[in-house]
């Protein structure tokens, strides 16, 4: 009988500042015992836990949490192939090549999914908003990267437990894709509906995410109001895109106070646990790098290509990916480069710029 509960999460994850804020524990708890309030470092409990109150086995939160039993990440995960890609449809607010949104739109068109968990934004406050969408239009409306944190996987409850959908895609940063993998691999009863409903996991490259104190910092330190912001980007510097003015570029080191604490423990840059990983570094301007990691991922990507939603080409600059990946893992660049090129984890040579 598994009597692990949120108290074990508290001991191993919350109290050690390892919580990445993915929201998985909140989303899967059958008694809605867990929640986030203004304190973003970790969730809290209202103590309506089945285990601690009634000794009914559950442990869903524990086995959904990517930080509860962390294993050391070796290399950059499975890599079947690497492409540069660009959307062939209009994706208005695309962050890079609009490929994540296009793959999802194609998946809706071919009925491969009946819902997707993405991250929307309140354009007035710039607060990130975990969103569950069910149409291509809605998915295209949620394009772009949110650098202000929100617990995206809390949307699991609405998507799967409440609406009882069976074919869900989930977009997330590497920590989120690790939670998704853990749910897919778990044998816990309460997690089985989630496990069975997740069709595909789309991961983003990620170096860090910021708490909403970032918005306060921009307002007080730089006189920028949230509604003047049209988006963010990180390209060596932190870029604040503004609606009516030239973008503001800030050195990243000046924003450290706003970085989420759980990011300090993170060594995954490329979403190693996803079916498909997407990033901008290593791609030409207006394009997205796509790493194919599983057959499921390959199926979704090729379907988007077949339906004319995306184009795939060669020419990824692996050295740029290795450079950031090495820094995040604390390994030498040469090691990172050889891990990305290791035979068996190899991309087709035609898709390489740096052979």
Ligand X SMILES: Cc1cc2nc3c(=O)[nH]c(=O)nc-3n(C[C@H](O)[C@H](O)[C@H](O)COP(=O)(O)OP(=O)(O)OC[C@H]3O[C@@H](n4cnc5c(N)ncnc54)[C@H](O)[C@@H]3O)c2cc1C
The C-alpha atoms of residue 184 and residue 198 are separated, in whole angstroms, by: 8
Query: Can residue 210 be called a binding residue for ligand SF4 (CB under 6 A)?
Result: no
Is 57 or 141 the residue whose CB approaches ligand X more closely? 141
Q: Smallest gap, in angstroms, from Cβ of residue 189 to ligand X?
A: 28
Q: Smallest gap, in angstroms, from Cβ of residue 287 to ligand X?
A: 9
CA angle 44, 208, 76 (to 5 degrees): 110
Query: Can residue 326 be called a binding residue for ligand SF4 (CB under 6 A)?
Result: no
Q: Smallest gap, in angstroms, from Cβ of residue 63 to ligand SF4?
A: 9
The C-alpha atoms of residue 202 and residue 177 are separated, in whole angstroms, by: 7
Could you say which of ligand X, ligand SF4, none residue 142 binds, taking C-beta under 5 to 8 angstroms by partner kind? ligand X
b/e per residue, 148-168, with b = 16+ CB within 10 A? bbbbbbbbbbbbbbeeebebb
Q: Smallest gap, in angstroms, from Cβ of residue 214 to ligand SF4?
A: 13
Could you say which of ligand X, ligand SF4, none residue 169 binds, taking C-beta under 5 to 8 angstroms by partner kind? none
The C-alpha atoms of residue 276 and residue 302 are separated, in whole angstroms, by: 12
Contact status, residue 307 vs residue 343, Cβ threshold 8 Å: no
Selected from 11, 15, 17, 20, the binder of ligand SF4 by CB under 6 A is: 20
Query: Can residue 208 be called a binding residue for ligand SF4 (CB under 6 A)?
Result: yes
Query: Can residue 209 be called a binding residue for ligand SF4 (CB under 6 A)?
Result: yes
* Binding track, positions 119-148, relative to ligand SF4; x by CB under 6 A: ------------------------------
* Binding track, positions 62-101, relative to ligand SF4; x by CB under 6 A: --xxxx----------------------------------
Burial class (CB in 10 A: 0-12, 13-18, 19+), 141: middle
Torsion angle in degrees (nearest 10) through CA of 75, 76, 80, 84: -140
The C-alpha atoms of residue 97 and residue 100 are separated, in whole angstroms, by: 8
Q: Smallest gap, in angstroms, from Cβ of residue 171 to ligand X?
A: 4
Q: How many CA atoms, within 13 angstroms, populate the side-chain half-sphere of residue 59?
A: 13
- Interface residues for ligand SF4 in 258-317 (CB under 6 A)? 260, 262-263, 266
Is 43 or 98 the residue whose CB approaches ligand SF4 more closely? 43
Is 77 or 98 the residue whose CB approaches ligand X more closely? 98
- Interface residues for ligand SF4 in 24-63 (CB under 6 A)? 24-25, 29-31, 33-34, 42-43, 49-51, 58-61
Contact status, residue 280 vs residue 291, Cβ threshold 8 Å: no
Is 40 or 144 the residue whose CB approaches ligand X more closely? 144
Q: Smallest gap, in angstroms, from Cβ of residue 147 to ligand X?
A: 5
Contact status, residue 68 vs residue 8, Cβ threshold 8 Å: yes
Query: Can residue 23 be called a binding residue for ligand SF4 (CB under 6 A)?
Result: yes
Binding footprint of ligand X on the chain (CB under 6 A): 91, 94-101, 118-119, 128, 142-147, 152, 171-173, 204-207, 209, 234, 278-281, 288
Q: Estimate to the nearest angstrom the gap between the alpha carbon of 49 and the chain centroid.
A: 28
Is 51 or 100 the residue whose CB approaches ligand X more closely? 100
Query: Can residue 339 be called a binding residue for ligand SF4 (CB under 6 A)?
Result: no
Interface with ligand SF4 (CB under 6 A)? 5-6, 9, 13, 19-25, 29-31, 33-34, 42-43, 49-51, 58-61, 64-67, 151, 173-175, 179, 206-209, 260, 262-263, 266
């Amino acid at each position: 009988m598994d009597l692990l509960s949120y108290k074990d999460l508290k001991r191993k994850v919350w109290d050690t500042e390892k919580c990445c804020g993915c929201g998985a524990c909140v989303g899967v708890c059958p008694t809605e015992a867990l929640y986030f309030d203004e304190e973003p470092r970790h969730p809290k409990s209202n103590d309506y836990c089945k285990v601690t109150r009634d000794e009914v086995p559950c442990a869903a939160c524990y086995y959904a949490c990517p930080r509860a039993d962390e294993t050391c990440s070796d290399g950059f995960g499975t890599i079947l192939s690497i492409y540069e890609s660009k959307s062939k449809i209009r994706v208005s607010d695309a962050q890079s090549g609009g490929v994540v949104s296009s793959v999802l739109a194609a998946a809706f068109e071919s009925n491969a999914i009946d819902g997707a968990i993405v991250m929307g934004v309140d354009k007035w406050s710039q607060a990130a908003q975990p969103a569950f969408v069910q149409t291509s239009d809605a998915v295209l409306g949620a394009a772009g990267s949110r650098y202000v944190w929100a617990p995206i996987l809390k949307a699991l409850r609405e998507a799967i437990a409440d609406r009882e959908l069976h074919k869900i895609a989930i977009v997330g940063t590497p920590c989120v894709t690790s939670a998704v993998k853990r749910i897919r691999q778990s044998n816990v009863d309460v997690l089985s509906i989630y496990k069975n409903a997740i069709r595909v996991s789309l991961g983003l490259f990620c170096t860090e995410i910021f708490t909403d104190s970032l918005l306060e910092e921009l307002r007080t330190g730089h006189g920028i109001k949230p509604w003047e912001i049209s988006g963010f980007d990180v390209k060596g510097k932190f870029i604040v895109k503004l609606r009516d003015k030239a973008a503001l570029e800030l050195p990243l080191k000046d924003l450290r106070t706003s970085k989420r604490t759980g990011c300090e423990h993170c060594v995954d840059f490329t979403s190693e646990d996803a079916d498909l990983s997407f990033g901008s570094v290593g791609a030409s301007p207006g394009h997205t790098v796509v790493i194919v990691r599983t057959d499921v991922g390959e199926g979704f990507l090729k379907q988007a290509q077949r339906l004319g939603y995306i184009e795939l080409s060669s020419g990824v600059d692996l050295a740029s990916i290795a450079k950031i990946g090495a820094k995040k893992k604390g390994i030498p660049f040469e090691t990172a480069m050889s891990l990305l090129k290791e035979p068996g984890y190899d991309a087709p040579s035609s898709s390489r710029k740096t052979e």
